[in-house]
Amino acid sequence: MMDSFGRFWSLLGAALRTRCGLRYLYKMSLAVSLRRALLALLSGAIFILTVLYWNQGTIKTQAYNEALERHPSHRDASAFPIPVEKSWTYKCENDRCMRVGHHGKSGKRVSFISCSMTCGDINIWPHPTHKHVLSPHTHSFSVDDVQLQVDTTHREVRKQLQTVFDWFLKDLRQIQRLDYAGSGSEPAVSESSSSKSRRHTQQDSEPAATLFGATFGAKQAGDLSSVQVKIAVHKSGDLNFSLDNDESYYLTSNTDGHRLLVEITANSYFGARHGLSTLQQLIWFDDEDRLLHTYASSKVKDAPKFRYRGLMLDTSRHFFSVEAIKRTIMAMGLAKLNRFHWHLTDAQSFPYISRYYPELAEHGAYSESETYTEQDVREVAEFAKIYGVQVIPEIDAPAHAGNGWDWGPKRGMGELAMCINQQPWSFYCGEPPCGQLNPKNNHTYLILQRLYEELLQQTGPTDLFHLGGDEVNLDCWAQYFNDTDLRGMWCDFMLQAMARLKVANNGVAPKHVAVWSSALTNTKCLPNSQFAVQVWGGSTWQENYDLLDNGYNVIFSHVDAWYLDCGFGSWRATGEAACAPYRTWQNVYKHRPWERMRLDKRRKKQVLGGEVCMWTEQVDENQLDNRLWPRSAALAERLWTDPSDDHDMDVVPPEVFRRISLFRNRLVELGIRAEALFPKYCAQNPGECI
Amino acid sequence: MRSSGYNRYHCYALAICVCFAVGAALTRADDTDHDAQAGSSASRKWLCSQTDICSPETELTPGLQYAVERFESQRDCRLSCGKYGSIWPMPTGEAGFIGNERVRFDPWKVRFHVVAPGEAATQFLRETNRLFVSNLLKECTRNCTLEGSKQILVRATVANETLVLDWATDESYALVVRTTDTATFVDIQAPTVYGARHAFETLTNLVTGSLSNGLLMASAARITDRPAFPHRGVLLDTSRNFVPLKFIRSTLDAMATSKMNVLHWHVVDTHSFPLEITRVPEMQRYGAYSSSQTYSRQDALNLVKYARLRGIRILIEIDGPSHAGNGWQWGPAAGLGNMSVCLNQSPWRKFCVQPPCGQLNPLNDHMYAVLKEIFEDIAEVGAPEETLHMGGDEVFLPCWNNTKEIRDGMRAQGFDLTEESFLRLWSQFHQRNLNAWDEITERMYPGIKEPKSVIVWSSHLTDPKYIETYLPKERFIIQTWVESQDSLNRELLQRGYRLILSTKNAWYLDHGFWGSTSYYNWRAVYSAGMPATQHRSQVLGGEVCMWSEYVDQNSLESRIWPRAGAAAERLWSNPKSSALAAQRRFYRYRERLLARGIHADAVIPHWCVLHEGKCL
């Protein structure tokens, strides 16, 4: 609106100007006093200037408005979760950064992060698998100088990459702390005289830069005038997730004068996105010049070792907001995890509002506000794609389903589920409340089919879907059915669910249909050509070998390593804690079942990957971040890089500490409330606490 | 200028008036609606069983006896279900009573009348009233304004003008709520302002949000209450990882909710020295992780005041001779010699129990002089009656023994290098510091009747074999951190020592995340018994300990809460009943913490909270 308003004034101004000008020129030609003519010229000039100024004003307001929209508040820099540490300077010795006091000494201070990024091995998480070369020289720049160029023939890929890049820039802005007020963060103590004088020189130089910028229309904050990111994707235009996605990428960067050219080459969108994730970690914020820094040149060639790198969140025991889920996915993307397994429903609650059967949520959600709409699921899936993460929803069945399934009789559909909330619960289920779907009610299957259908629509085409299928309590069914072969009934249920999934998926069954490991997967009733088994039992159990021998593809989620909910004691008043102790990030990191089991090449190929599980009996939104992070990141490197490891139990090499500590900081910088790894002293003094 | 400004305000005022009028009209219409609903029994679906279980009428457990009263919500039911309703920690007085009737009210319309001797006490209570109202507002589930609200008249009477808060402070109170046709009267009687503030805390536990506008309060109640132990603390370590002030304040808020009264501020350790010592600025300059990860003198003063208003003492610990390193490294450069030895040495296992290493040099007079300056600062920051925690744990004798300077110095002073000599040296360290502390407090607060006792951790030195030689019981209070089955507590009590208990296998909140330690869930915390002894008065109380190796602001709140609340009930009520009997009150307490902005851990699936008695 301001824009058109301004245009109106400029037109009016132009009109007036010409008319007045002509009249006075005419008068002047009639030899009226020169003073008048000058006055006329002056007023004309003033008018022109006013109009120009007005125009400029409009543009400014608009830009300002945009800026306001993007950054609603400038906060105090000292409130930023990663503080500026001006008390210390760092020296690189033997690939380790040594902390040295910087109290009133002159000389250039090297910040911890700049030292860490240029000392020793590459400092990104997960570690690249193929090769990497980094220049020892670094350059500074501001996020405003970063541009994207996409080189691809696939229109959809181009569009998607542009979106990814927008988020990339948003993260960089956060890393550069642009939403936080400038340099006023350093009170009292370590504000040594030298740093004060340095600040003065900085302030002196700033107006000059602004003037320069105003005059020539270009502003250069750091050494680099521009950072050009060129992403090339030629081979595949596919944006659909599949285990066959080529996630490799090749990243190079080179400086040409004041320009840095970064090239990311990948065979697919997914690889390109990982490349950007790596690039983001190759950029850091230096609190000395308050600019972003990166290497003068670099080469990273990278590809994952495992295809399925998952994180499971249970949103039934406790509800989690879409915002919390998105935050989790954002962190997953940074760690290059690629599957968000959404354990959407369980016996406790049914938070998903189905298009066809809203009764499920009406009867099963904890409250009206603790629900997910179709739009929510779609939104999460679209957001996840930006971070290279596939959303895999799971409606657990036939067990782990109860609340939400009790309205069948009212609608004339018969009992959809049995044993709902039945007591004493320990007779009929593994944990209260009980509930198990009715295997002999066709409506049950129909509802499942419709649920699969809509969830597939919202999360997109897939080659992997999860049916749940674990912990069926045969005693529950035995109350209602005289069948002797209750396990057969369970098996039939899974096969029927599978058939319904096929119908829901336009007549094609997804290539992999995942189920949890259970007594059923120890038999061969489920065809190994279609079913993949998510193994959650102990890593030393026989079933691990049996499943592989029986030809199943597996996803490991061993309770003794990758269950992130363990270690908080029993939540019930009776009974022991199921799976203590707590798994530290080292436990997660050190777990390498394929090595311990000495799998041959063929069997190792059956291992699709692994997944950490966040069951939420004792977790809600208040502590989700710190339960998940940085431990999930430990899994990410295990599955992406799978570094070999000859150390003792629980001993992680110092180099890994160094990198995960930095990665944890990066998560905190981006707003993830990740848990502390150790005392900050140990973060400031790499290697000293080991 | 002035008049135009005035006019503008006038306009605003007018606009606001209009808004209010419209708003009021709307809410009134709303209210009548809700009243009609709330009045009908159809919307009152919850019942309370004799076994203290609230169930909706559709899910009554067969075989249970339910009372006839019906409540609009689970929380409404919980207010008076069971002997203690939803009061946490449970009141200890006899003949408590909470009625089943409710009064609906608008928190803005609560009127206070304060009767207290002295200006200070009166002001304190006014602040308490303000905090009380802000806590009430956090209970609001919907719009809390209520036209035609019943009048709530609160009268708080405090007998003593003292604001002293120490182990002798009487924190008891009596609270009576009664309702007549015209108004609801709340009568609070307490000997001290601290008792009165606890009464207000209890009063918030008699209130819950309503499904319609306003809040619900039990319209009749009678509660008398006093704590079982005078020391109910949380230890917060801000050295291993820094904790921003905001999070210390939130810890204080949660403590106030739980009627805990001591924040043991383990402000410095070997890792970092974030606290500003105005007399010795070097400590912070050399010891802080960064200049924004610090506490200024003013911060500390503000914190003490903030805590006071919530009935909490801040007890500062300056740990020594061990657990002191970073912040002490400037001695040689300043010509004061090595004040700390083994500093940041490696391999650390040779010099300390946990990296980084550092132990004060007990033979360096300058170190004592600096320590005294630090004590002066601490004395100025704290209340006149407040004492000091001197630390004194985990002295690693091999550090001293491996340091030539110490060995030589000891020999020169006539010590041999036996363990006994090292213990004597160590105890001299404490004695000398105690003398310094005495001198400071006598000078600064001449009114103090007797010298203040200080606190030290249990250690080698507090071994029942030696303790009487090294640490006189009149002056040293021992904070023990042994496991529950250890005999140390009993033996020290027999020898006449006063104790603060931090039972290591129940109240160490950092356990379960490192080494072979295990996590203690709220039931384990709750079940940690206090010693049954004839020396009851020697047991001052206890503290849960939040060591911060593996927590910082990102997980601090969920690590401490709600578990510390379980200890709060142990220390306030010392109940004979089990955690099982407390669980429903505890879940409600956790929700109260959440409402007050504390990110407390979840302890049980939400379904089990909603369906009482179904997850046993």
**Beta strand spans in A438-478 (E):** 464-468
Better-scored residue on pLDDT, B558 or B147:
B558
- Cβ proximity of B525 and B566 under 8 Å: yes
The tens digit of pLDDT for each residue in A228-282 reads: 999 999 999 999 999 999 999 999 999 999 999 999 999 999 999 999 999 999 9
From the list A318, A421, A432, the residue facing B602 with the nearest CB is: A318
Domain locations along chain B: 1-39, 87-225, 231-583
Q: How far apart are CA A310 and CA B116, in angstroms?
A: 63
Q: CA-to-CA distance for A567 and A178, rounded, in angstroms?
A: 39
Cα–Cα separations (whole angstroms), residue A544 to A298, A518, A606 = 41, 11, 11
What is the C-alpha separation between B609 and B616, in angstroms, rounded? 11
Whether residues A673 and B276 touch (CB distance < 8 A) is answered with no
pLDDT at B42: 53
Question: pLDDT-derived band of residue B450, with 50, 70 and 90 as boundaries?
Answer: confident
DSSP 3-state of A285: strand
Q: Does B607 touch chain A (CB under 8 A)?
A: yes
Q: What CA–CA distance (Å, rounded) separates B84 from B91? A: 7
Closest chain A residue to the Cα of B578, Cα to Cα: A573
Handedness of CA B53, B56, B57, B58 (dihedral sign): negative
Calculate the dihedral angle through the C-alpha atoms of B152, B158, B162, B168, rounding to the nearest 10 degrees.
-110
- What does residue A478 show for φ and ψ, rounded to 5 degrees? -60, -25
Is pLDDT above 60 for A73? no
Region A60-66: what's the mean pLDDT? Answer: 40
Chain A CB within 8 Å of residue B453 CB: no
Which range has highest mean pLDDT (A90-99, A318-327, B346-355)?
A: A318-327
The answer on pLDDT for A200 being more than 90 is no
Interface touch B555/A620, C-beta < 8 Å: no
Which residues in chain B (474-533) have CB-CB distances under 8 A to chain A?
A: 512-514, 518-521, 523-524
Residue A68 is predicted with a pLDDT of: 39
pLDDT at position A376: 98
Q: What letter represents residue B414's amino acid?
A: G
C-alpha B486/C-alpha A161 separation (Å) is 63
Q: In residues, how long is chain A?
A: 690
| Record: contact A185-B551, CB cut-off 8 A | no
The mean-pLDDT minimum among A582-586, A643-647, B77-81, B352-356 falls in A643-647
Q: What is the mean pLDDT of chain A?
A: 87
Q: What is the CATH number of domain B87-225?
A: 3.30.379.10
Distance in Å, alpha carbon of B558 to nearest chain A alpha carbon: 6
Q: Based on the number of CB atoms within 10 Å of its own CB, is B405 exposed (0-12), middle (13-18) or buried (19 or more)?
A: middle
At A440, give phi and psi (nearest 5°).
Answer: -115, 25
Contacts of A318 in chain B (CB under 8 A): 602, 605-606
Cβ A563 vs Cβ A535: under 8 Å: no
pLDDT band at residue B554, thresholds of 50, 70 and 90?
A: very high
| Bridge partners, B174 (sequence order) | B189, B224
Q: Under CATH, which architecture does the A79-302 domain have?
A: 2-Layer Sandwich (3.30)
Average pLDDT rounded to a whole number, residues A518-535? 95
- Tell if the CB–CB gap between B555 and A318 is shorter than 8 Å: no
Distance CA B103, CA B105 (A): 6
The domains of chain A are located at 2-69, 79-302, 308-646
Say which range, A205-214, B62-71, B152-161, B399-408, has the weakest mean pLDDT.
A205-214
d(CA B79, CA B221) in angstroms, rounded, equals 11
Residue A150 confidence class, pLDDT cut points 50, 70, 90:
very high
What is the pLDDT, as a whole number, of residue A317? 97
Task: Report the alpha-carbon distance of residue B204 to residue B200 in Å, rounded.
Answer: 6
What is the rounded distance in angstroms from the CA atom of residue A105 to the CA atom of residue B94? Answer: 67
Question: Per the residue annotation, which of B69, B380, B394, B549 is the catalytic one?
Answer: B394
Q: Which of B266, B351, B558 to mutate to test the interface with A (most CBs of A within 10 A)?
A: B558
- The answer to whether B602 contacts A432, with C-beta atoms less than 8 Å apart, is no
Q: Does B108 touch chain A (CB under 8 A)?
A: no
Position B368: which residue type? Y
Please, what's the b/e burial string for A455-469 (b: 16 or more CB within 10 A of its CB; e: otherwise)? bbebbbebbbbbbbb
Alpha-carbon B199 to chain mean position? 16
Instruction: DSSP letter for B142, please.
Output: S
- Residue of chain A minimizing CA distance to B558: A623
B8 to chain A, closest Cα gap in Å: 26
Q: Which chain A residue is nearest to residue B59, measuring alpha carbons?
A: A421
Q: Mean pLDDT over all residues of chain B?
A: 92
- What is the pLDDT, as a whole number, of residue A44? 66
- Long-range CB contacts (< 8 A, 24+ apart) of A14-19? A14/A51, A16/A47, A17/A44, A17/A47, A17/A48, A17/A51
Spatial distance between the Cα atoms of B328 and A101, rounded to a whole number of angstroms: 13
First to last CA, chain B: 71
DSSP code string of B147-165? TTPPEEEEEEEES------
Report how far residue A17's alpha carbon sits from residue A427's, in angstroms, rounded to the nearest whole number. Answer: 93
CATH number of A308-646: 3.20.20.80
Q: Judging by beta carbons within 10 Å of its beta carbon (0-12, 13-18, 19+), is residue A645 exposed, middle or buried? A: middle
Average pLDDT over residues B139-159: 91
In this predicted structure, the answer to whether residue A366 has a pLDDT above a threshold of 70 is yes
Provide the strand spans (E) within B29-150. 46-48, 54-56, 97-98, 102-105, 110-115
Q: Is A166 helix (H, G, I), strand (E, B) or coil?
A: helix
Q: Is the pLDDT of residue B59 over 80?
A: yes
Is A471 a known active-site residue?
Answer: yes
Give the span between the Cα atoms of A280 and A286, in whole angstroms: 14
What digits encode the pLDDT tens for the residues B101-132? 999 999 999 999 999 999 999 999 999 999 99
Which residue is associated with the tokens 């606490």?
A: A689
Are B395 and B426 contacting, i.e. CB atoms less than 8 angstroms apart? yes
A560 phi/psi in degrees, rounded to 5 = -85, 5
* Tens digit of each residue's pLDDT (9 = 90 or more) over B401-434: 999 999 999 999 999 999 999 999 999 999 999 9
pLDDT (mean) for A50-74: 45
Residue A196 — pLDDT band, cuts 50, 70, 90?
very low
Those of residues 573-602 in B touching chain A at CB distance below 8 A are: 579-580, 583, 594, 599-602
pLDDT score of A70 more than 50? no
Split at pLDDT 50, 70, 90, the class of A76 is: confident
pTM of the model: 0.88
Evaluated on CA atoms A527, A529, A534, A535, the torsion sign reads positive
Q: If you measure CA to CA, which chain A residue comes closest to B547?
A: A679
For range B195-219, the mean pLDDT:
96
Give residue-wise pLDDT tens across range B335-377.
999 999 999 888 888 999 999 999 999 999 999 999 999 999 9
Q: Give Cβ neighbours of residue B41 (< 8 Å, ≥ 6 apart).
A: B70
Q: What's the token pair of residue A353? A: 């509002």
Q: Show the 3-state SS of A23-68.
A: HHHHHHHCCCCHHHHHHHHHHHHHHHHHHHHHHHHHHHHHHHHHHH
Tokens of B20: 């209010």
How do beta strands A436-437 and A417-418 pair? antiparallel
B378: amino acid identity, one letter: I
Interval B24-55: pLDDT, tens: 444 434 443 344 334 445 577 999 999 999 99
The percentage of residues in chain B with a pLDDT greater than 70, rounded to a whole number, is: 93
Q: Are B421 and B409 within 8 A, CB to CB?
A: no
DSSP state, residue A434: P
pLDDT tops 80 at residue A202: no
| Best CA proximity match to A544, nearest among A589, A596, A470 | A596
- What does the pLDDT read at residue B10? 47
Give, in words, the CATH class of B231-583: alpha beta
What beta strand segments (E) does A220-378 contain?
226-233, 249-256, 259-266, 284-286, 291-295, 298-302, 308-314, 339-345
Asked if residues B356 and B270 have their Cβ atoms less than 8 Å apart, the reply is: yes
* C-alpha distances in Å from residue A475, one per residue of A121, A479, A516, B20: 57, 7, 20, 62
Q: Which residues contact B410 (CB under 8 A, 6 or more apart)?
A: B363, B416, B417, B421, B425
φ, ψ for residue B357, nearest 5 deg: -85, 165
Q: State how far residue B221 is from chain A, nearest Cα, in angstroms.
A: 30
- DSSP lists the bridge partners of residue B449 as none
**pLDDT confidence bin for B199, thresholds 50/70/90:** very high
Nearest by CB to B291, which of A187, A577, A582? A187
Give every CB contact of residue A688 below 8 A, 6+ residues apart in sequence.
A681, A682, B344, B346, B348, B355, B356
How far is residue A140's CA from residue A516's CA, in Å, rounded to a whole number? 49
A355-392: b (≥16 Cβ within 10 Å) or e:
eebebbbebbbbeeebbbbeebbbbbbebbbbbbbbbb
Query: CB–CB of B607 and A572 under 8 A?
Result: no
If you average pLDDT over residues A304-318, what whole number do you get? Answer: 98
Q: What are phi and psi of B186, to 5 degrees?
A: -115, 125
- Taking the C-alpha atoms of residue B285 and residue B295, their distance in angstroms, rounded to an integer, is 12
Using a CB-CB cut-off of 8 Å, the residues of chain B touching A668 are 554
ipTM: 0.89
Instruction: Specify the 3-state DSSP secondary structure of A651.
Output: coil
Residue A105's pLDDT is: 66
Is the Cβ–Cβ distance between A80 and A170 less than 8 Å?
A: no
A280 touches A335 (CB < 8 A): no
